[in-house]
Amino acid sequence: MEETHRASAELIQSLLMNAQVSPAGFRSALLGVPPLERDAWVNQVFGLDALPDDGPELPPGCVPYLPCPVDALLRLVEFAGVQASDVFVDVGAGLGRAAALVHLLTGASAIGLEIQPGLVLAARELTRRLNLSRVSFVQGDAASLAGHMVIGSVFFLYCPFNGERLAKVMADLEPIARTREILVCTVDLPLPPCPWLTLVSPPSEDLAVYRGTPLGLPEGWPSWGTRRSLSSPREPR
Ligand SMILES: C[S@@+](CC[C@H](N)C(=O)[O-])C[C@H]1O[C@@H](n2cnc3c(N)ncnc32)[C@H](O)[C@@H]1O
C-alpha cells in the first residue's frame, strides 16, 4: 500500500480509538483510497493480519472464514440504503470485519452470528480495540440463531452455508418480514425459492438485495410503509 494510504489508515485508527470518526468521515477516508487498495486499508485500520485458521467447531458443509471484499460491502450499503437506524445482522460473521465496516460506514448497529468461538473472541477484541460499542457478536449456529434476531432490519449472508441450514434461515426470517420491512443481502450466494422475497437489485455477478414482501399480499400493497428508497447500484468512486 502507498505510504499516504498507510498514513491515512493509521490516522483513522487512532481517531476511532478516541471515538472521533463519523460515518461520513470514515466513508470519505475509505473512498480516498484506490479500489484495489481498500481491502488492505481496512485490514490496517482494523489491525487484522493473516487469515485465521478455522477451528474444529466449523461443521462439515459450512464455509470457512473468508472476508467479504470491501467493494461488495460498499455497493451493498449504497444499494440497500443502510441507515443509522438499521440493525445489520451478519449471518456467519467471521472476524467481524463486515459488521464493523458497515457500522462505520453507516452508523447502523450490527450483530454478527458466528459458530467458531475463536473468531467470536477475535471479533469482540476488534470492537474493543476500535471502541465500537454498537457492534456485537453472538456465538452459535446461525441456522438456529437467525430467526431470533427480530430487531434485525438488514440481513447479510456472504455464503456461510447452503442446503438445509440456508433453507432454515430463510424460513425463520420470513415471520420477521411479516411484521415489518427487512432486506436480505447476499454475496456469492444463490437463495432457495422464497416467495416472500423480491429481488430489488439488478442482476449482478456477486451482490443481490431482496426485500421481504408479506405473503398473501400483492406486491406494493400499502399495508406497511417502505421507509427506504433503494438506489441503483453504482461503482464506488
Ligand atoms: C465466507 S465467511 C464470511 C465472513 C463475514 N461475513 C465477512 O464477510 O467478513 C463465512 C463465515 O460463516 C461462518 N459460519 C459457517 N457456518 C456457520 C454456522 N452454521 N453458523 C454461524 N456461522 C457459520 C464461518 O465460520 C465463517 O466465519
User: How does pLDDT run along the chain (237 residues), one tens digit per residue?
Assistant: 889 999 999 999 999 988 889 999 999 999 999 999 999 999 999 999 989 888 899 999 999 999 999 999 999 999 999 999 999 999 999 999 999 999 999 999 999 999 999 999 999 999 999 999 999 999 999 999 999 999 999 999 999 999 999 999 999 999 999 988 999 999 999 999 999 999 998 878 899 999 997 654 555 554 333 456 566 544 444
Round to whole Å and give the CA distance between 17 and 24: 17
Contact present, 69 and 98 (Cβ < 8 Å): no
Round to whole Å and give the CA distance between 237 and 235: 6
Q: Is the CB of 121 under 6 A from ligand 1?
A: no
Domain 51-212 is found in CATH 3.40.50.150? yes
Predicted confidence at residue 203, as pLDDT, reads 79
Q: Is the CB of 62 under 6 A from ligand 1?
A: yes
> Would you say the C-alpha torsion 216, 220, 222, 228 has a positive or negative sign?
positive
- In the chain, where are the structural domains located? 1-47, 51-212
Predicted confidence at residue 224, as pLDDT, reads 39
**Which atom of ligand 1 is nearest to 94's Cα?**
27
Predicted confidence at residue 235, as pLDDT, reads 44
Q: Is the CB of 114 under 6 A from ligand 1?
A: yes
Through-space distance between the first and last CA atoms of the chain, rounded to whole angstroms:
18
